[in-house]
Chains A and B, each alone.
Chain A
Amino acid sequence: MDAIFNPVGDAPNVWHPADAREAYLLKRRLGRQAVYVAGGTLLRTEWEAGSRSVSPHWIDLQRAAGMGEVFMQTGGLCIGSQVTLGTCRKHPTLTSLYPLVGKAIRCTAAPSVRNVATLGGNVCSGVGDVLPSLLLYDAELVWQNEQGREAPLPLREWLELRAAGALDPDRILLAIRLPERADESGIRQASGGDDALPSLLRIEVYHKVGRREAFSPSLVTTAVSAEIDAAGCFRQVKIAAGGGKAMPARLGALEAWLVGSKADLSRLPDVYERVMEEYQPAGDIFAGESYRRKTAASLIAADLWQLLQQTASEGGGRYAEPIQQRNALEGPSGRPG
């Protein structure tokens, strides 16, 4: 292990463990005096803002072996936690099979930040804007503890345990796994039984609403995936929402209410109300919870409305175009002058 011993200087010590286990043991030894550093972009922001004190020991994860690759494996795609957002954004397999992850990354920070920031860092923040898209694809997390690699844990479950403070804070995220999808187009032909009816139309949409059009902290993020089958019913409905300091979460009650129900416009007011009830935003002095609830409800209802409109006008067979990031404030460019 390569480390710097700095008993008198003010500068933090930087440690370069060879692998995740060594990093874990080091963190255990140094305790709260140490912090894991991946890309370090969020940490730097927090240090400069004074919202977090600079730790005297930094444990560099980027040089640790085994966390920097993207590869297909049995059951899906595995993304090492130290892969940068920039690499993810341009990865052909990732962006074609899981397009909302690519869309969400495009809406996260700016390219120069994404060339340093990692997907693992975005996940471990617990509020990263990529999380709703990962939730939509039922992502799993692979962790390292003292004994070794743990069994994959659903992201959804990890977020809940994290919120409850029920996790070992020293564990290291090794990889994010995305379960295999049926095909690249996202339009899946059912194989039999009750699923014998083919899906007519599918929509996959990610939204981020911030104060600027680009490179802005989120107020609300939503991700929606839904299909309407030949019988005119919703199926395969997945909806996630987050934004700001809110814990991203799937809106499971709304999903269950929609699946199998007749897909018509009369349901949309109920969709709006159910999002208002189920989505748990975190308001602040600039944007309260009520505003954020209304925003999320409007976006999700509008996505389903778009799906219904296309079903009515075209009869299906098309992949609905995802909508890009929207700006909370009206303006021609969304850029400060």
Chain B
Amino acid sequence: MKSETDRIGLKPWTCEINGGRVSLNVSPSRRLLDVLRDDLGLTGTKRSCDIGRCGACMVHMDGVPVNSCLVPVYQAEGRSITTIEGIGRDGLHPVQQAFLEEGGFQCGYCTPGMIMTVIALLGEYPDPEPEQVKEALSGNLCRCTGYAAILRSVRRASERIIGEGCGPGGKGDACV
């Protein structure tokens, strides 16, 4: 005889979210975005286009950016997920600081996704070429700020990260 959980199609699901182990009973076909927001209350990850075009729902899965609206939770089983809530817990991350200083946001709706994308970019390329920035941000749409301020923010974050020795293997305070 099946349990009620089995009967309605739920399944135990475990992964690491923002450094902590999370176990839930969920339908494996649900979107990671919905589980993060609705089940775990991590509403910093934004819902917008639902088809992976805008980047507002960007999170890191095992360190690389993914659109959480495209990821069914079974694909995240056993993986490490980082949301915007997992960034800068001991003070603003250099990328967040740079967006503040350069006015890299206006309404702010796209900003969590932008921040997650830029952190991944600078983690791989601390001093990216303009083409690398353009490619990295090609999946993040902003409808009000304008990209000039966002690009300035990326440049400032890069300078700060390089200055504080936060490239690959770096140990500076801003590396968190």
Contact = CB atoms under 8 A, between A and B. Distances in A.
A8 to B, nearest CB: 6
In this complex, which of B51, B52, B147 has the most chain A Cβ atoms within 10 angstroms of its Cβ? B52
A58 B29 contact: yes
B67 A11 contact: no
A116 interface: yes
A9 B25 CA distance: 14
B138 to A, nearest CB: 4
A225 to B, nearest CB: 23
B29 A12 contact: yes
Task: Kindly state the interface size class of chain A when it binds its partner.
Answer: 35 or more
B64 A6 contact: no
A106 B132 CA distance: 11
Given A4-B27, A115-B65, 16 more contacts: A5-B2, A9-B7, A9-B8, A16-B74, A40-B70, A48-B51, A49-B51, A60-B74, A109-B139, A110-B52, A110-B138, A110-B140, A111-B135, A112-B55, A113-B139, A214-B135
Contacts, number: 98
A112 B72 contact: no
Given A9-B8, A113-B67, A115-B65, A48 B146 contact: no
Interface in B61-89: 61, 64-67, 69-72, 74-75
A116 B51 contact: no
B147 A215 contact: no
Interface stretch (A162-170, A178-186, A329-337): A329-337
Interface string A241-254: 00000000000000
A12 to B, nearest CB: 4
Nearest to B50: A48
7 contacts: A6-B9, A11-B30, A45-B52, A110-B55, A111-B138, A116-B75, A337-B146
B175 to A, nearest CB: 22
B6 interface: yes
Given A58-B29, A86-B64, A111-B65, A14 B135 contact: no
Nearest to A212: B138
Interface string A207-230: 000000011000000000000000
